[in-house]
Amino acid sequence: MTPLKSLSIALLLLSVLGCQHTTQTQEIAIPSSATHNTYSPLINASQQSDLAYDIVKSLTVEVGPRIAGSKGDKRAVAWAEAKFAELGFDHIYKEPVRVRNWERGFADAKVIAPYPQNLVITALGGSIATPATGLTADVVMFESIEALRMANRNDIAGKIVFLNTRMQRDKAGRFYGKVVPNRVRGAVEAAKQGARAVIIRSVGTDNSRFAHTGVMRYDETVEKIPAGAISTADADTLEVMIKNAPTVTLQVNMQAKDAGWQTSYNVIGELTGTESPEEVVLISAHLDSWDEGTGALDDGAGVGIVMAAAKHIKDIIGQPKRTIRVVLFAAEEIGLIGAYEYVRANKDSLNKIIVAAESDFGAGPIYRMDTRFATSVRDNANDLYDVLSSLGVALGDNTTNGGPDVSMMPKYGVPVLALKQDGTYYFDYHHTPNDTLDKINIDEIRQNQTVWSVVTAYMANTEFDPRPAPSVE
Ligand SMILES: [Zn+2]
């Protein structure tokens, strides 16, 4: 190792670790060090700040559950406007989003025979109710939705279908996409086969007695039947019963209801750019949550992370050159409703967005950044990638969709990036009563806040322009 190289590495470490800069540091013209020097005060300030965590605490304690269109959702919108003001955003506004409100109501399930006992169940979001006195039928189990589709209708008609697919833990959450069709499509596929109701093994990786809710869909051409999820522990019990006994009879009673149209809002806070205010760096999360927990991981964490990142940039570096726009989307959980409305309402200015990104995978540490940048300029941000590397974040591929609420933007040429979080335990809590503040590790959410601060500051304060996004296949 040459003396110069060892010095530059030592200085790089010093700047990352937050020591005072010496004049020597500025004399050495090494691009990565220069970028480190620019961002180290931001990194240091973030590493000593609880702001993201405090924002999630405020949202979960002062607002709590906030299913789209509910009273909680309305409180969340007012909370977000007030929080943006408190944090010093200079342009705060909201855009209306029409949403269908759904109320969970009472839910109960029990085995009637041969081994009577209660099961923990929750209704899936959007489900119709059972009759007021409940619904009693024999249950038929399938390992997958494909097996249900291929089964003989005579074995299913008049029964309750039980979709029993296990989900595995995974850092990137890859099994979610494989199992979630049970929840979204289960009622339609079961009804096509003549079933009276569907229950699924919760789409979750825990072994608790919390059931995981989440959105389900009907098809207007297929009869609507009630749909619920039982906890993974109860799914295990039911599976053994079905394997042991020729007939298992269940009673399910769920009194969910459609509560009609309501107006929710995408709530937006901006730090107006000083040099190119029309150019926008859009960072986002979703404000709604399911109703059972307090929506701490999904997506209070994202709300805290992106609000805090912008606030740190303003405090430590100052007003950005480009506009930083923090969007808190409405009604993500029931089908990205706020995000689609945002694109519709802002179609003419999407080409001003330099990059868009969303934080919506809990509060686990970020380990990778994927992008969808114009291929010809992607390497021009190598100095950013170097700083990220020092924060434990590797550069990934260039094919991301940026996260749920910005996933429709690349097809309009909007570049996106995704800061991939370790989601190994995310689906233990996802959409359950157990999604609460105590599940957030303060050091991990702080790492998220730091990485988002650096990436957002870089995109807002440098010349780097990754437009247009490569086209979507
Ligand atoms: Zn979410």
Assess contact for 261 and 101: CB atoms under 8 A: yes
**pLDDT grade, residue 32 (50/70/90)?**
low
Catalytic residue among 189, 292, 332, 444, which? 332
**pLDDT grade, residue 34 (50/70/90)?**
confident
- CATH (one of 3.30.1960.10, 3.50.30.30, 3.40.1350.10, 3.40.190.10) for 105-255: 3.50.30.30
β-partners of residue 326 are: 269, 283
CA Rg value for the chain: 24
Q: How far is the CA of 327 from the centre of ligand 1 (A)?
A: 14
- CA distances in angstroms from 81 to 309, 328, 453, listed in the order given: 17, 10, 21
Q: What is the Cα–Cα distance from 217 to 197, expressed in whole angstroms?
A: 14
Domains 49-99+261-461 and 105-255 equal at CATH topology level: no
Q: How far is the CA of 214 from the centre of ligand 1 (A)?
A: 10
**pLDDT grade, residue 33 (50/70/90)?**
low
Note the pLDDT of residue 12. Answer: 41
Assess contact for 28 and 6: CB atoms under 8 A: no
- 332: annotated active-site residue: yes
Q: How far is the CA of 96 from the centre of ligand 1 (A)?
A: 20
- The answer to whether the pTM exceeds 0.85 is yes
Q: How far is the CA of 331 from the centre of ligand 1 (A)?
A: 10
Q: How far is the CA of 286 from the centre of ligand 1 (A)?
A: 7
The string of pLDDT tens digits covering residues 219-266 is: 999 999 999 999 999 999 999 999 999 999 999 999 999 999 999 999
Kindly tell me if the per-residue pLDDT of 29 is higher than 50: no
Kindly tell me if the per-residue pLDDT of 430 is higher than 60: yes
The string of pLDDT tens digits covering residues 339-380 is: 999 999 999 999 999 999 999 999 999 999 999 999 999 999
Label residues 385-406 b or e (16+ Cβ within 10 Å = b): bbbbebbebebbebebbbbbbb
The string of pLDDT tens digits covering residues 139-170 is: 999 999 999 999 999 999 999 999 999 999 99
Note the pLDDT of residue 35. Answer: 77
Kindly tell me if the per-residue pLDDT of 273 is higher than 60: yes
Where would I find the beta strands (DSSP E) of 11-159? 91-103, 107-113, 117-119, 121-123, 135-142
Q: How far is the CA of 124 from the centre of ligand 1 (A)?
A: 16
Assess contact for 440 and 56: CB atoms under 8 A: yes
Note the pLDDT of residue 282. Answer: 99
- At 131, list the tokens: 């009759």
Percentage of residues in the chain having pLDDT higher than 70: 93
Q: How far is the CA of 361 from the centre of ligand 1 (A)?
A: 7
List the domain boundaries for the chain.
Answer: 49-99+261-461, 105-255
Note the pLDDT of residue 221. Answer: 98
β-partners of residue 281 are: 324, 355
Note the pLDDT of residue 24. Answer: 37
Determine how many CB atoms are found less than 10 A away from the CB of residue 359.
28
Estimate to the nearest angstrom the gap between the alpha carbon of 2 and the chain centroid. 46
- Examine residue 114 and say whether the peptide bond preceding it is cis (omega within 30 degrees of 0): yes
User: What is 286-324 written as a DSSP string?
Assistant: E----SSS--IIIIIHHHHHHHHHHHHIIIII-S-SEEE
Domain covering 49-99+261-461 assigned CATH 3.40.47.10 in the classification: no
Q: Which residue has the tokens 């180290």?
A: 40
Note the pLDDT of residue 79. Answer: 99
- At 404, list the tokens: 């749920």
- CA distances in angstroms from 185 to 126, 145, 148, 252, 430, listed in the order given: 12, 8, 11, 19, 19
Q: How far is the CA of 422 from the centre of ligand 1 (A)?
A: 15
Q: What is the Cα–Cα distance from 397 to 268, expressed in whole angstroms?
A: 29
Q: What is the Cα–Cα distance from 86 to 287, expressed in whole angstroms?
A: 17
